[in-house]
Amino acid sequence: MPRLYTTPYGKYTTSSARYVREWRRMAKSLERILGVRVYAYGPDFGVYEKETFNRPASIPLWLAKRIVESEASKGNGTR
């Protein structure tokens, strides 16, 4: 039985490439919007300051979705 992966939007896939692509797409949006660097994802996002690598933090998936979707609704099409 193939392994199932869950994308950030709750869809299941057997493709590890799709899993990584979907999570990286959201991670790149967060990096651009917040000015941080994402170092981990699934199920939450681990982030730190882009320039100094200081202040690591965790952003829960539900909040990351709201941030990205809010930016997209402003016409910046990040999703």
Q: Token pair of 41, please?
A: 């994802």
Assign 73 a pLDDT band (cuts: 50, 70, 90): confident
What is the span of the domain harbouring residue 31? 24-76
pLDDT recorded at residue 42 = 86
Per-residue pLDDT of 3-29, as tens digits, reads 999 999 999 999 999 999 999 999 999
**Domain annotation covers residue 16:** no
Is residue 14 in some structural domain?
no
How many domains does the chain fold into? Answer: 1
Return the percentage of the chain with pLDDT > 70, whole number: 95
CA distance 45 to 17: 18
- Tell me whether residue 52 is in a domain: yes
In a domain, 6, yes or no: no
Tell me the three state secondary structure of residue 38: strand
